[in-house]
Amino acid sequence: MTPPSGSSGERSTLQVRTLSNDAQTPEEIEAEIEVQREQLAETIDALSAKLDVKSQAQAKVEGAKQTAQDKVAQVKQTVTHSAQSAQSTVGSAAGTVRRPEVVAFTLTVVLATVVLWWRER
């Protein structure tokens, strides 16, 4: 911007009054404008993030994926614990022989119970 004719290019001591009747120098006005620009940029960024459906969908997919992985790990741990418990119960029964059919049936019942319990949650 070129200085008005008749000025030497230096800033004058011009003061502007605001609506609240406070005097402001051009430097203060420029600083205020810069602050407002930064706030506007932050607002635009926030609105852009809200309107970015693709990234929101990806974030939700990632969250659901992580939740599913956590649930699977929890179910695996529960099934493993239940299977070990059932196996030790069946194995410690006096005078009985561990038959593969009994172990398989017990594990199937435990797994079905865990899956049904998980779906109810």
Least confident of 15-24, 66-75, 82-91: 15-24
Pairwise CA distance, residues 23 & 17, whole Å: 5
> What backbone phi and psi angles, to 5 degrees, belong to 52?
-85, 85
DSSP state of 93: S
Burial 21-53 (b: 16+ CB within 10 A, else e): eeeeeeeeeeeeeeeeeeeeeeeeeeeeeeeee
Task: State pTM to two decimals.
Answer: 0.39
Q: Are 29 and 16 in contact (CB under 8 A)?
A: yes
* Whether 31 contacts 25, CB under 8 Å: no
**Which tops the pLDDT comparison, 54 or 12?**
54
- The pLDDT of residue 89 is above 90: no
